[in-house]
Amino acid sequence: MKTEYDFLEAERGKFYRPDAKLNIPVYLDDEVRDFVAEIAARKHADMNRVVNDLLRLDMGFAKAMR
């Protein structure tokens, strides 16, 4: 890594994309990961789908309790 960088000809926001969709990494505890993996294996689904389904179900409960 250089000790100094020259930004005199840099362009602010050159790579900024306001409509860019960012996928946020989520780190599951071991117990939760194992639980989700077991459900995914039984349903022949990927873990992303199982996590999203569980979260949607939880969102439904939260909305009903308002």
Q: Is 46 inside a domain boundary? A: yes
Q: Is 36 inside a domain boundary? A: yes
Range of the domain at 59: 30-64
Q: Is 47 inside a domain boundary? A: yes
Q: Is 40 inside a domain boundary? A: yes
- In the chain, the number of structural domains is 1
Q: Is 43 inside a domain boundary? A: yes
For the segment 8-57, what is each residue's pLDDT rounded down to a tens digit? 999 999 999 999 999 999 999 999 999 999 999 999 999 999 999 999 99
Query: In the chain, what percentage of residues exceed pLDDT 90?
Result: 100
DSSP for the chain, written as a single string: --S----TT--TTTT--TTPPPPPP----HHHHHHHHHHHHHHT--HHHHHHHHHHHHHHHHHHT-
Mean pLDDT computed over every residue of the chain: 96
